[in-house]
Structure formats: C-alpha cells, structure tokens
Amino acid sequence: MEGLTNSLPLALVAGFMATAIAVAYGRLRSTLARANTRYERLMSSTNDVVVVVDEAGRIIEANRTAAELLGYATDELTGHFLPDLAPPTERRRIKEFIAGSLQDGTSTAADLMLNHHGGDSSWFDGRAGLIQGETASAIQIVLQDISERKRQFILTEKEISFLHELSRTLPLLQDFDQMLDRILGMLSDTLPFNAFTLVLAEPNDTRATICVGSKTKKAFLDDVRSCVADVLPELGDNIDPDDVEYVIERKTNIAPPAEATVGSQILLPLAIVNGVAGLFSDQPNAFKKEDLSLFSTMVSGISSLYIAYKSYQQVQHLSETDPLTSLYNRRKFFEELTREIERVSRYESPLSIIMLDIDHFKAVNDKYGHQMGDEVLRTLADVLRANTRKTDMVARYGGEEFIIMLPETPLKGSRGVADRILSEVEKTAVLGAALEINFTVSVGLAYFTKGDSVDTLVARTDHALYTAKKNGRNRVELIKV
C-alpha cells in the first residue's frame, strides 16, 4: 500500500502533463490553422501582388493578383525568377531587394518595375519579409501597384518638359513653319506615330498640313488624307473640302508605317483657333490613355503658340503698313530697299525705283473734302497693286506720294511699268455721290548704278519726279547718271 500511495501523485502528474500537452498542441494546431487561413485569405483576396520566393529569387508561390497584373496564369509564375520579370536595367534592384530581406529579415523598395507578359510594364512599391525554415529560408514579398500614380508623375514631367521646350520656340514667332518643325521633333521623341496633321481654318483659307516619314508610301498617306477630310465638316459648314489646301511634308524624324492603312488615330480640336490636330499610327490600339492626355496638353500648347504667332503677325503688319491704303509704309520700304541694294551690289542685278505724286491733290481736298481725297489715295493704291508684280514693292511714301521698288528690272522694263501706270490712272475715275473725280499723276524714274546708296538712289528718283512736275505734270521723267 505504501508503494501504491507513493506512486499516485506521479500518475496524477503524468495525467495532468499529458492533458496539458494535448491542450497546448490543440491550441497550437488551432493557431496554425488560423494563421494558415489568414495567409490563404491574404493570398487570395488582397489587391496587392503577393509572391513567395526562395533565396535565389525563384517564385515558389504567387497569388491571383500577381497573375492578373502580370498577365500570367497562376501556375505559370511558379518557377520564374522574379528578377527576370523586370526590365534588364531594373533586375539588379530586384536582386538587392531580395538580398536585403535575407540579410536583415525585412526590406523595402520603391518604384520597382516588372514587365507584363504582353509587353507593358507596371511599377510597384515593395516590402519583403524573411520566412525562416529548418533547412532553408524563403521570402514573402508584397508589391503595391503604383502604376497609375507613376504614369501620372511621368506624364506631368513630360508635359512640363514639352511646355518648357515650347516656350523656347517663341523667338521663331515670325515663322510658324519653323515652330511646327520644333514641335514635331518634341512629338517624335515622346509619342508613337506615323503621321501628324494640323488643320487651320481661317476665313476663306483652310490649310491642312500633313507630316509623314520620308519613306511613307502613297497608300498610307492617302488614308491619312481621307481621315482628315472626314473631320473637315466639324470645322464649319462654310468649309468646302475641294478648296482645302493640302501641304504634304516629309520628315526624317517620323517613323514610316509598316502597314498601308491607318490603324488608330487621335484627333483633337484646337483651343480658341478653328482647327484640329491629329496623330495617326498604322497599328491598332497604338495610343494609350496617357498618350491622349499628353497630346491634349501638346495641342493646347500648339493652339496658344498659333495665337501668339497670329498676334505677332498682326502687330508686324500694323507696324509695316499704311492704314489708309494697306500698302507698305515708308519705314518698311527703306528696310527692304537697304537689303535689296546690298544684294544687287553683290550680284550686279538691275534695280529700278519709281516715285509718283498725285497732281493738284490739294485742290481735290479743297473742292471735294478730305473724305473724297482719301478715296482718291485708296483708288491709286489699287491701280499700283494691279500694275506691279508680287516681287515688286509698293509703298506710300507720304501724303500723296508713292514709291515702287522693281527688283531685277532694267531701265526698259521699269519705263514700261511707269508708262502703264500713267495710262491706267488717266482712265480711272473715283465716284462719289453725284460726282466723278478724275486725276493724274507725275512719275519720276531712276535705276541703280554702281556705288549707289539708299539715299542717292531715292534722291535721284525724287529729282526725276520734281522734273516731271516742273515740265507740266502727268508725265514720266528719267534722270540718267
């Protein structure tokens, strides 16, 4: 009995211990089950990419989000090396990210890039944690997709860069074609396209510029032109497609298409200006959402630049033009004459100058009033425009005096112009209310000789005009050297 009595406490202790172990084991199993459930739930329900890799970076397990974002079937990812899913320039960063968790237990990394199975890429912020095993370790990696934020950041950078470069074209305001060339260079560095178009609809003048690669074939160009013609009605009912001036420019910095037809296009209206800008590609779905956003910013910049160009042209026109007759003014005439004398002095080309004055113009103003006098000046300006070439320059010299520069015109040709003007003026009448005003002009003529300056040539022409008036008016006089 004594031995049995002494052994009871030991049995009880053993029973208690067995019970405690069983309870502890049950709790451990329950804990492990809950942890496993949480892990499986994390793997299946999170919007983040979750992968488990071995020490070498080989994927052991991947969740559904990883497969969907990267364009694989779930089982296809298993066995791939995670660094191999990154662009070559990014693989070192992925390896360092994995190595950091092996060394320190955890690691983080920002702006990691992984390629899609289809060719696109996504950006991620990543965190990794070491899973220590008895014989080997693994790393659990969670990647948060930041692609939209990253693309918006890159897009903003590109927009800022474009607008900065656009501002550098402002010194080219006098030549919109040069500005357009600069813009095309920026576009070709940023967006994928095989043709660019800019349609500008001015009153009675619609111009469609189509820029393509230097080796673009006619079939693709014709398809682009057809796409442009389709959008013309949207610019206004008064635009006749048959009257549109198409300007085709071939550029070395635009990639030629591989296909003969347009596969995708972006067409956007210009802000404020009546017109449209467009990009064309021979590939379907060539333009992404961010391309549309970036091109929209670029089109706004093009619109602003064109408005600035037109404003500059208007100011320039006003500074060079006589407001009454719309001929060039005296200042502009002397600028051009200075350049022309430099040219003819170098190349020994002929150059003639005609100066004319309305006979008895003060009497016209006194008898009929200044309003009719202004009409006489405008009528004479029309006669001068009608009887000179586009290469000639007609200007109002001052008051009732006008001056004409005739480049590449020897004495015989300039005398013919002067005689024709004299004759046409005699046949011209200015009509008013119940009245008709006839007038004549006196004409002086001189031609460039070696050693002439602007002052000497104009002075000689002015002296010829004085001689015509002195000798009876309504005549042409020439001062020979």
Q: Which of 35-39, 57-61, 67-71, 243-247 has the lowest mean pLDDT?
A: 35-39
Binning pLDDT at 50, 70 and 90, where does residue 42 land? low
pLDDT per residue as tens digits for the range 51-95: 889 988 999 888 888 888 888 887 888 888 999 998 888 899 999
User: Residue 295 has what pLDDT?
Assistant: 83
User: Residue 289 has what pLDDT?
Assistant: 80
Nearest partner of 355 among 420, 417, 443, judged by Cα: 443
CA distance 286 to 376: 62
User: Residue 11 has what pLDDT?
Assistant: 58
- The amino acid at residue 340 is E
User: Residue 77 has what pLDDT?
Assistant: 86
Higher pLDDT, 23 or 194: 194
Is residue 459 predicted with pLDDT exceeding 60? Answer: yes
Beta-strand ranges (E) seen in 133-263 are: 137-145, 195-202, 205-213, 245-251
Higher pLDDT, 111 or 403: 403
DSSP 32-75: HHHHHHHHHHHHHH-SSEEEEEETT-BEEEE-HHHHHHHT--HH
CA distance 249 to 32: 71
b/e string for 278-316 if b means 16 or more Cβ within 10 A?
bbbbbeeebbeeebebbbebbbbbbbbbbeebeeeeeee
| C-beta neighbour count of 120 within 10 angstroms | 11
DSSP 306-357: HHHHHHHHHHHHHHHB-TTT-SB-HHHHHHHHHHHHHHHHHHT--EEEEEEE
Sheet of 205-213, strands arranged across: 245-251, 205-213, 195-202, 275-281, 264-269
Identify whether the C-beta of residue 384 lies closer than 8 Å to the C-beta of residue 421. Answer: yes
* Mean predicted confidence (pLDDT) in 151-159: 60
Identify whether the C-beta of residue 379 lies closer than 8 Å to the C-beta of residue 430. Answer: yes
What SS3 class is residue 233?
A: helix
Higher pLDDT, 380 or 89: 380
Higher pLDDT, 243 or 151: 243
Nearest partner of 384 among 369, 400, 364, 403, judged by Cα: 403
- Residues of the chain above pLDDT 70, percent: 84
User: Residue 321 has what pLDDT?
Assistant: 94
User: Residue 232 has what pLDDT?
Assistant: 81
User: Residue 350 has what pLDDT?
Assistant: 95
pLDDT per residue as tens digits for the range 431-442: 877 788 999 999
What is the DSSP-derived secondary structure letter of residue 302?
Answer: H
* Mean predicted confidence (pLDDT) in 4-33: 52
* Mean predicted confidence (pLDDT) in 350-360: 96
| C-beta neighbour count of 16 within 10 angstroms | 10
b/e string for 190-218 if b means 16 or more Cβ within 10 A?
bbebbbbbbbbbeeeebebbbbbbeebee
* Mean predicted confidence (pLDDT) in 23-30: 49
Is residue 234 predicted with pLDDT exceeding 90? Answer: no
- The amino acid at residue 177 is D
Q: What are phi and psi of 292, to 5 degrees?
A: -60, -45
Q: Which residues contact 263 (CB under 8 A, 6 or more apart)?
A: 281, 282, 283, 284, 285, 286
Average pLDDT value for the chain? 84
* Mean predicted confidence (pLDDT) in 335-341: 95
pLDDT per residue as tens digits for the range 248-287: 999 888 889 999 999 999 998 887 778 889 999 999 988 8
Is residue 111 predicted with pLDDT exceeding 50? Answer: yes
User: Residue 1 has what pLDDT?
Assistant: 46
pTM (2 d.p.): 0.55
User: Residue 392 has what pLDDT?
Assistant: 96
pLDDT per residue as tens digits for the range 297-336: 788 878 877 887 888 788 888 899 999 999 999 999 999 9
User: Residue 4 has what pLDDT?
Assistant: 44
Nearest partner of 208 among 264, 134, 274, 281, judged by Cα: 274
Higher pLDDT, 153 or 212: 212
* Mean predicted confidence (pLDDT) in 167-187: 70
Higher pLDDT, 398 or 274: 398
